[in-house]
Amino acid sequence: MFGTRLAAAMEQHGPLCVGIDPHEHLLASWGLPASAAGVREFALRTVGQLKGSVAAVKPQSAFFEQYGSAGVAALEETLAAAKDAGLLTVLDIKRGDIGSTMGAYARAYLDPASALAADSITVSPYLGFGALEPAFELAAVHGKGVFVLALTSNPEGAEVQHAVRDGESVAAAIVSRVRQRNAQALNSAEVLGSFGLVVGATIGTAAADLGFDPSDCGGPILAPGVGAQGAGLAELRAVFGDRALESGQVLATASRAVLGAGPDGLADAAAALNRDLTAAD
């Protein structure tokens, strides 16, 4: 299952997941054009440089999709290259819909028969947590992972995620529902569920203020915001606590802090950040 594979990858390579976000300014700094061909070259170089050094990579689908079919083809190549390199993939798509449409999204990104299939995906629960059922079901069949948006760092997110119903915040309810899904799916040999959360590394005390602990979800926590956005080990510890960090539950995500080092420096940048995230006080 995905949780078991991710735990092993983090044990071997550390807690860092590198986002593959080919912004135009990064393409330019790498000497690449803002085109599908440039995005393809950027992503494949990144995968090649990070092989054997990080637990996972996280392609952001939007940066590929904006170039149309050629960009989507570049994303397909990137996912295939990561698989060949032994890198787990978190495809950042944040999809969320209802009924047959959610089923189609699930098949697109979680069915191994699809060229766009990844090891795991991000999803949005804001059409109702139950609407994500097709993704959970297909992920379980194929040993894939699902990361559910729970508590993000963007200011706009608070109006939904912090909202309270029947004495419980929306974010806390999502954590509870993910915990239930993992409890149903985990077997005795697994220590980390395959269904997790997206929780920003820069949210400070927001989770505690809302009265819940993200690590209670029983699965991995994707924590964007490390590096250029300001989060390091101290911030991760403040948000998630020592237990979650020491148990290998937090997959810390950085993009610009690594990619900004350029194609010849990103492997060293990733290694340095990985060391920082595991350093003792």
Which of these is catalytic: 51, 58, 83, 94? 94
Tokens representing 82? Answer: 């990561």
For residue 264, the one-letter residue type is: D
* Catalytic residue status for 94: yes
For residue 182, the one-letter residue type is: N
Query: Would the CA dihedral through 255, 214, 194, 131 be positive or negative?
Result: negative
> Contact, 173 vs 148, CB < 8 A?
no
**Cβ-based neighbour number of residue 115 at 10 Å:** 12
Tokens representing 276? Answer: 């920082």
Q: 25-47 b/e with 16+ CB inside 10 Å = b?
A: ebbeebebebebebbbbbbbbbb
SS3 (DSSP) at 190: coil
Among 264, 137, 245, smallest CA distance to 199 is for 245
Tokens representing 281? Answer: 């006080």
SS3 (DSSP) at 116: coil
Query: Would the CA dihedral through 239, 242, 243, 249 be positive or negative?
Result: positive
Distance between alpha carbon 45 and the CA centroid of its chain, in Å? 20
SS3 (DSSP) at 199: strand
Among 197, 204, 209, smallest CA distance to 236 is for 204
CA distance 17 to 226: 10
Question: Among all residues, which ones are annotated catalytic?
Answer: 94
